[in-house]
Amino acid sequence: GTAGLGIMQEFFSVLVLIALGMAIHQRYIKKNPHVKAHSEFDALVVIVGIGGLIITYFITNGMFINQGNPPNPVWSIPVSNAFAGLLTVLFSPDAQSAVGMVSFWIHALLFVALLIWVPRGKHFHLITGPMNVFFNANATRRSGAALPKMDINIEEMDDDTVLGASNITQLSRKSLFDTYACTECGRCQDVCPAFNTGKPLTPKGLNVELRMELERAAPLIIAGKADAEGVVRPLVPSIFSDDFIWSCTTCGACVYECPVDIEHIDTIVELRRFKVMMEGDMPSEAPGLFKNLERRGNPWGVKDSRIAWAKDLDLPVWGKDGGAEDFDILYWVGCAGSFDNESQKTSTAMVKIMRAAGVKFA
């Protein structure tokens, strides 16, 4: 009943109404495709539920004010006081009490209904999102977070060994939990180079579709029907196309932008690993690339030496003819910097920069 509580409730209630107005504008007026909900019904229930909570809060407070029993000092709840004035204009004193009591019970019912609804719908991310961040040990906020290692022991492999993941039972717990942490905010899509150039990949869709598949199959698996036909389906092509998983450039933009630390790339790479290592199924460009790597040690199959680009730079090469041993930085040039004409210019410029800075490198 304090003024401080009244001011805080009024302030945040108004902010919530403004936010709901923005959401309605984005979804139903502007029809922004990036915020399209997996379930429009679910989104509508939550918008109506939260909006109803706020409106009924103001109406109920207005009734109490008109009855001379304000829940807080009247000056601290100006919006509720405005609703009290509106009730006075529209209804008689008896009708105001009836409207106020109906509003009170609608408020209570909406609150309890949302408590039940939220864990069953998309908005479960209110709980799972913070948990996903708290328990994430892969440091996604750091550029270059590592992919999960593959535990391959050729001597122990048998016909039941699976490399990568084909269905939801073979995905990691983190990949499955990611689907429930997803807020469907669309930030991953906004920065995805594949999605923004018309490719079939959508990082948001990855999690939404996986969650739908999990919700379909998991009850049947728990009921012991995992072996029944159609229960455990291959994710590619049943859910995702080949183009979907191979459109990803693994740039990490989606992972970096995600507010709840979802690891989109880990899941996509697991699906790719299965396709390549278990089925020998890969894009047509890949076999030639693998052959060049195996025979020449670079994707282009170039015969030149890896350090031919630096022949006129008098560079210390680590491990070559007992070469450089005393250095602070190892400049790892990579294939493009060694063999691609344009990238060689970058490699040469980097050498000049480090020399000008006095860096001891090899």
What is d(CA 106, CA 65) in angstroms, rounded to the nearest whole number?
A: 19
pLDDT the model gives residue 322: 58
The strand pairing partners of 361, in sequence order, are 329
CA 237 to chain CA centroid, Å, is 22
CB 178 within 8 A of CB 207: yes
On the question of pLDDT at 91 being above 70, the answer is: yes
Distance between start and end Cα atoms, the chain:
71
**Residue type at position 177:** F
Counting Cα atoms < 13 Å in the Cβ hemisphere of 113 gives: 15
Gap between the Cα atoms of 315 and 322, Å rounded:
13
Q: What is the pLDDT of residues 114-171, one digit of tens each?
A: 999 888 877 889 899 999 988 876 554 454 567 777 888 888 888 888 899 999 999 9
pLDDT digits (tens, 9 = 90+) for 243-272: 999 999 998 899 989 999 999 999 999 999
Confidence of residue 302 (pLDDT cuts 50, 70, 90): confident
pTM of the model: 0.72
